Structure 1
Amino acid sequence: MTEALSNAPRMKPNFAILLSAIEMLLPSSRWIKRFATEKDDADFEESHRHALIFGKGGLFQCSTMTLGLAVMEPELNYPLHRHPPAEFYLALSEGEWYREDAGWWSPGAGSVVFNPPSAVHSMRSTDKPLLALWGLIENAQEAVPDHQGVSNNSN
């Protein structure tokens, strides 16, 4: 985690402030391992972790949203998956993202990636660790943005 956070670019003041706040939360965060299935990369279990910040089991309880951090070691694929809640990621480092209607793309650090409810999606790290802030939004059917994709707003 420390390597991923130190590699995250601090290109704008607000982004640097966000990364500093995340760094302060790390000692209190509960890191969770996602168990691999037969189809997953054998190294996935040991090379990926989530820290819950908001939501059930997180540092702060919230019933409408789950917010956390994801970190992946270099050269790792997160398995293709889907889930009913809409999901967003704020890419805190370089990485590649996949969604069934868009294919693979590299949004860049500071970009937002949005996955509509039940969309098949994935991500993968490059030669450096991937770090991302992620959120699951319950009952987001009404809140799906018109662009349903990537924005590059790093403010």
Structure 2
Amino acid sequence: MQDFIARLIEESKHFLNERAQIDDDIGQEAAKFVAREIPAPSGTFEKSDSPLIRWIEEAIQFGSPETANLLNALKPSLPFLPWKYNYEPRADMPDLGNRMGWGEILGPEAPYHDEHFCFGFTLLGKNTLYPAHYHPATELYVVLSGLAVWTLDGVSKVRGPGEFILHPSNHVHSMQTKDEPLLALYTWSGEDVVTLSKYV
């Protein structure tokens, strides 16, 4: 599995490298990951028992030619990512942890330990709302598979495979899937990548 993860990291950097050549806010965030030195792993990747596993096969089916290589690199690793959902429970959405989560590869609690930067993948099932939330970290997403409505500071837009989305520090944002699951690469950067997201 370690070889698959190493290939996934390499392919992820390769994918972001082209966007990193554009000198704007998104390009600068992409460049941070491309230039990041990845430490040796301090943890292992075991087969996940997360309820999100049931979405994996469908979640990789809605990519594009642009994201195909990265999805191919990601596919064998998906069942072994450390999928989690660690928000406080919501009485109005009690099954949310069964419908969305993230598998972090690099970060403070990830198998590749880094106290100052995070990298991983977010997965939402079909017809799932990731409610409005915010966090201190600056967050970069690139959609790999699936159409979804992305909302930032009250402005909504449908985003698809290959599109980059930047969430500045502490700006409120949300995502809503419809008929397709969503699979996206994310990074977190900034002075605080430890403090978890909070719902609005």
Percent identity between the two aligned chains: 26
Q: Distance in 1 between matches of 2:172 and 2:121?
A: 20
Q: What are structure 2's unaligned runs of at least 5 residues?
A: 1-55, 193-200
Structure 1 distance, partners of 2:94, 2:79, is: 28
Match of 1:150 in 2: none
Distance 2:110 2:166 in 1: 22
Within the alignment, does 1:124 sit opposite 2:124 as a pair? Answer: no
For 2:96, the equivalent position in structure 1 comes to 44
Root-mean-square deviation (CA, aligned residues, Å) is 1.9
Name the one with the larger helix percent.
2
Q: Distance in 2 between matches of 1:36 and 1:139?
A: 23
| Equivalent position of 1:94 in the other structure | 147
The answer to whether the Cα contact below 8 Å between 2:81 and 2:105 also exists between their aligned partners in 1 is yes
1:3 paired residue number: 58
| Cα 1:80–1:40 shift into 2, 3 Å | farther
The runs of at least 4 aligned residues of structure 1 exceeding 6 Å deviation read: none
Query: Residue 189 of structure 2: which of 137, 143, 153 is its match?
Result: 137
User: Which structure has the greater CA radius of gyration?
Assistant: 2
Q: Which letter does structure 1 place at the counterpart of 2:62?
A: A
Distance change in 2, residues 1:40/1:109 (3 Å): farther
> Per-residue deviation at 1:10?
3.3
The residue correspondences of 1:5-154 to structure 2 (distance < 5 A) are: 5=60, 7-12=61-66, 15-38=67-90, 40-92=92-144, 93-100=146-153, 103-139=155-191
> Partners of 2:91 and 2:132 in 1: how far apart?
10
User: What is the one-letter code of the residue matched to 2:152?
Assistant: R
Which of the pair has the greater relative contact order for Cα pairs under 8 Å at 6+ separation? 1
Count of equivalent residues: 136
SS state at 1:38 partner: coil
TM-score scaled by structure 1?
A: 0.78
Consecutive unaligned residues in structure 1, runs of 5 or more: 141-155
TM-score, length of structure 2 as denominator length? 0.62
Query: Are the counterparts in 1 of residues 63 and 71 from structure 2 also a CA contact under 8 Å?
Result: no
Mapped partners of 2:98, 2:88: distance in 1: 9
Distance in 1 separating the partners of 2:91 and 2:139:
23
